[in-house]
Structure 1
Amino acid sequence: MNKGIGPALARLVLMLLTLLIGCAFQVATCAACTPPPVPHVQPNSVVIQTLGPSPQEVLQSVTLSDPALINQLYNTIYTLPVLPENSACTLDYGPRYVLSFKQGNQPVVVVTAERFGCRKVTIDDEGIQRHGTEEFWSLLDQAIAAGTPTT
């Protein structure tokens, strides 16, 4: 009976070590992938569109012009952690948002946020995906509530 336990225990230890090394590599890879700094341009308005199942279906659109809340939301987006490659995500579905930041009439940046799966936040001019934190989603909810409907 003890003969079978030795090889099984060795395989279990080997599997655990492989898993730990893989996790350490993923953390090290993600730590090396630091997000770019916040751009110096600060927007003074943001249009937030809530999209339906089809990207062309806009369920709600609001404009936010509160400078403090805009800056807090904008800066929070640029400090979100990078989403590790090959992240395991849920298969649920929820709303998507498109945030169009502007300074005057000039576009600054467009951000897409998915409130499902890995809760990805993508800044259009970056090549990376970020992970939406609870702080981000709370600020987005505040911005939507404080915004005025866009016609």
Structure 2
Amino acid sequence: MMRTPLHLFPLALIAILCTLLFTACDPKPLVNLHSSADLTKLQIEFFLYGNTSPETLYVSKQETAQQLYKAALASPQPAPGRACPGIGGPGYQLVFWAGAQRAETVIADRGGCSDLFLRGGDLRQANQDFWSLLDQAITSAPHVTHPDHLEIVRYQGNVQVPLYAKITSAGKVQRLFTYLSTFLSTPSSITGFCGDQTSTYDDLFFYKGEVLLRAQVFRGGCSLVKMVGKTTFPALRLTGQFQQQLDQELSSMTFAPARPDTLEIEHAPVSIQPGSGPDFRISRDQSTIQKLYHTAYNLLPWPPNKDSSCNSQGAEGSYDVLTFFQEGAWLVSATAFSSCPTVSFNRAGIMGGYASQATQEFRDLVHQAEKG
């Protein structure tokens, strides 16, 4: 299977198809690849087409995990010389757990040929049984009704480092959650999604244990409220009353520059073939993470009058996807191709991405992080 993207932002789509971003320090499996008996839990991360930053997270129980894993293994291998339709679709990262250990990670691409990527370069083509079970897993996943903590990332455009705050007071978290729920249940005008990379907005991560409800509140020109990952839920026009309630609750919060504590790295060839695939690494080295994070944010913007197209053709090309986390909050994802002079950045909730100029210092730090 050969992919030959023509532009930097479409290039980042490859990452969605192949991303196996680990969230545990020890990726060694405890169960046999062809056994589902010991699987206890499934985590599903959802990616919109064209964005390498995760949208939201679903958690499913043992029976669902076992059924979906069996369906993935039962999916056929792709036929030689197949032709894939040029149709984009969302991507899913399925993390199967056996107790406290990761057993398998599967990447499912709903566009093109409906590929499934398993560990070890095992490439499959998802069938309807698999997609039906995945849809059931998402619709039956538990929802947040009484969150126990809230993490907030405040973005101030695409140049400044975002701010971060965390609320653990149950009363305050529930009050904010009630304001949001009331607003969402009140008739409001529907608006479009935000494509302004310089927008100011708050990214709200409501958690109950590991179950997530994520919402975003855009101010300024976009002025909307969006439930992240809910493709059937329209973006709503922000009202003055809800903005006043939110600002009043957050006025006593102490925001500090975001300081990611986890970096997930994917390194892969541009040409993905059966039997080969990406390599992955988790870094919790704070010195490496902070250097790379601040270097990335200090990269110069790509000149708006200069073509950012990238020629990544050829089997020798490779790319890296870097995703920065702070506790349970996703901050930003960066995609860099070996043959491209640009780095593309993506954040959930904003359509498209923005490009910066790659430097040798940035590439050296990426290689250093890859090697651990």
TM exceeds 0.5?
Answer: yes
Q: Which 4+ runs in 1 deviate beyond 3 A? A: none
* Equivalent of 1:110 in 105, 109, 132: 105
Distance 1:71 1:40, change over 3 A: closer
**Backbone CA RMSD of aligned residues:** 1.9
Quick check: 1:41–1:108 contact (8 Å CA) kept in 2? no
Partner residue, 1:64: 60
Distance 1:139 1:101, change over 3 A: same
What amino acid sits opposite 2:115 in the alignment? K
- Report SS of the residue matched to 2:77: coil
* Equivalent of 2:34 in 21, 35, 38: 38
What amino acid sits opposite 1:145 in the alignment? T
Partner residue, 2:121: 127
* Equivalent of 1:55 in 52, 57, 66: 52
* Equivalent of 1:91 in 86, 90, 94: 86
Name the CA distance, whole Å, in 1 between partners of 2:134 and 2:59: 12
Superposition map of 1:130-149 within 5 A: 130-149=124-143
Question: RCO (CA 8 Å, sep 6+): is it higher in 1 or 2?
Answer: 1
Relative to its length, the structure with more helix (as a share) is: 1
Name the CA distance, whole Å, in 2 between partners of 1:87 and 1:128: 17
Query: Where does structure 1 lack aligned partners over 5 or more consecutive residues?
Result: 1-35
Cα deviations across residues 57-104 of structure 1 (Å, max 9, x unaligned)? x22211001x22221111111111001233100111010000000112
Partner residue, 1:80: 75
Distance 1:143 1:119, change over 3 A: same
What amino acid sits opposite 1:50 in the alignment? F
What amino acid sits opposite 1:61 in the alignment? L
Aligned residue pairs: how many?
Answer: 113
What amino acid sits opposite 2:69 in the alignment? Y
